[in-house]
């Protein structure tokens, strides 16, 4: 397979800058309550960004923020690699509290990306001690699976909510990155992982689904976004060889009242990129957690 599966579906100019400056944003999530994009900075910043590009720093973890998710109350759950924990942040007050440090038998050495199931269960990747953790509502944590191995990164759920999708950035046995599908069994345990796509000469980072069943994959390098179609075919959506409109994209999320915008955190620079691709995102769960 070529490192470039297809010619890009869209010109790179479909991307525009949503907000700047942000301190090397790594991750983001959409909060429909406030209609703001939350994203993190490498200095511990939790930013709230409107779709008009207005930036407000609402909290600071004191560490360095990677992936994040939001609950039904608008609280942000952020992976902080410096603190080696997932923190819960209340944007209304700026409060920051520990949510999980990992399982008793395995700490989250490098928490990277979380996603919620409808019942409040969180699946979160740990990259240096490679594992996917299962966090019950309230923070009790267990190791869900270690079967994927080297550097699990961005996560999401399938639209049918029956599997966790994981971007593996640095496989030990492959010259590129992989995207995996891990079934959620009826008892909540992890099923046998299967490879959705192997992407040569790439470092996949963030993943997100649209309502048509396409899985979008943002690559830290090269500066591009691919999508995996339901039939397994891979196509490049947009690519920026000059890293002007897209610069080391990491996490991606569908944002907007109808989830009509795809937003990418550009950790290689100081901005969020936004694109309208004519699709809508598959809604993520925002559970009620006490």
- The pTM (predicted TM-score) of the whole model is 0.96
What whole-number distance in Å separates Cα of residue 46 and Cα of residue 64? 10
Number of DSSP helices (H) and strands (E) in the chain, helices first: 0, 26
Name the 3-class secondary structure at 52.
coil
CA distance 10 to 30: 24
Nearest to residue 218, comparing CAs of 260, 253, 249, 243?
249
- Tell me whether residue 169 is in a domain: yes
Residue 289 lies in a domain: no
List CB contacts of 69: < 8 A, sequence separation 6 or more: 29, 76, 77, 114, 115, 116, 122, 284
d(CA 144, CA 103): 10
> For every one of its 290 residues, what pLDDT tens digit does the chain have, with 9 covering 90 and above?
444 567 899 999 999 999 999 999 999 999 999 999 999 999 999 999 999 999 999 999 999 999 999 999 999 999 999 999 999 999 999 999 999 999 999 999 899 999 999 999 999 999 988 999 999 999 999 999 999 988 999 999 999 999 999 999 988 888 889 999 999 999 999 999 999 999 999 999 999 999 999 999 999 999 999 999 999 999 999 999 999 999 999 999 999 999 999 999 999 999 999 999 999 999 999 999 98
Look at residue 161 in the predicted model and tell me its pLDDT: 95
Nearest 5 degrees, angle CA 220-CA 36-CA 87? 65
Classified as helix, coil or strand, 12 is: helix
Q: Is the dihedral of CA 251, 257, 258, 260 positive or negative?
A: negative
In a domain, 203, yes or no: yes
The answer to whether residue 143 is domain-embedded is yes
* Token pair listed for 166: 């994981």
Asked whether residue 174 is assigned to any structural domain, the reply reads yes
- Beta-bridge partner residues of 281: 210
**Structural domain contains residue 137:** yes
Q: How crowded is residue 58: how many other Cβ atoms within 10 Å of its Cβ?
A: 18
Identify the bridge partners of residue 216 per DSSP, sorted by sequence position.
208, 227
Rg over CA atoms, the chain: 17
Count how many domains the chain has. Answer: 1
* 166 within some domain: yes
Specify if 139 maps to a domain.
yes
Cis bond before residue 278 (omega within 30° of 0)? no
How many angstroms separate the CA atoms of 1 and 144, rounded? 32
Nearest CA to 237 out of 15, 16, 2 is that of 15
Domain that holds residue 50: 12-275
Cβ neighbours for 112, distance < 8 A, ≥ 6 positions apart? 66, 67, 79, 81, 124, 125, 126, 127, 152, 153, 154
Tell me the CATH number at 160: 2.120.10.30
Distances from the Cα of 91 to the Cα of 31, 33, 49, angstroms: 11, 12, 12
């Amino acid at each position: 397979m070529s490192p470039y599966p297809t010619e890009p579906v869209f010109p790179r100019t479909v991307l525009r800058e949503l907000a700047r400056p942000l301190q090397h944003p790594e991750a983001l999530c959409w909060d429909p309550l406030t209609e703001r994009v939350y994203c993190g900075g490498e200095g511990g910043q939790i930013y709230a960004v409107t779709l008009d590009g207005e930036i407000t720093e609402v909290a600071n973890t004191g560490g360095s923020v990677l992936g994040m998710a939001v609950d039904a109350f608008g609280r942000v759950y952020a992976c902080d690699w410096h603190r080696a924990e997932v923190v819960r942040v209340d944007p209304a007050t700026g409060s920051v509290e520990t949510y999980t440090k990992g399982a008793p038998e395995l700490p989250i050495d490098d928490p990277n990306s979380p996603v919620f199931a409808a019942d409040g269960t969180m699946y979160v990747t740990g990259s240096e001690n490679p594992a996917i953790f299962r966090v019950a509502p309230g923070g009790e944590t267990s190791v869900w699976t270690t079967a994927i191995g080297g550097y699990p990164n961005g996560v999401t759920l399938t639209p049918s909510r029956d599997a966790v999708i994981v971007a593996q950035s640095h496989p030990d046995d492959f010259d590129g990155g992989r995207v995996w599908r891990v079934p959620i069994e009826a008892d909540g345990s992890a099923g046998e992982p299967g490879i959705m796509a192997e992407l040569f000469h790439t470092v996949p980072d963030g993943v997100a689904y649209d309502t048509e069943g396409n899985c979008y994959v943002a690559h830290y390098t090269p500066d591009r976004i691919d999508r995996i179609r339901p039939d397994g075919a891979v196509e490049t959506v947009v690519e920026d060889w000059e890293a002007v409109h897209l610069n080391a994209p990491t996490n991606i999320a569908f944002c907007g009242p109808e989830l009509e915008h795809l937003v990418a955190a550009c950790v290689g620079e100081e901005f969020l990129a936004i694109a309208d691709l004519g699709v809508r995102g598959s809604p993520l769960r925002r559970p009620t957690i006490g």
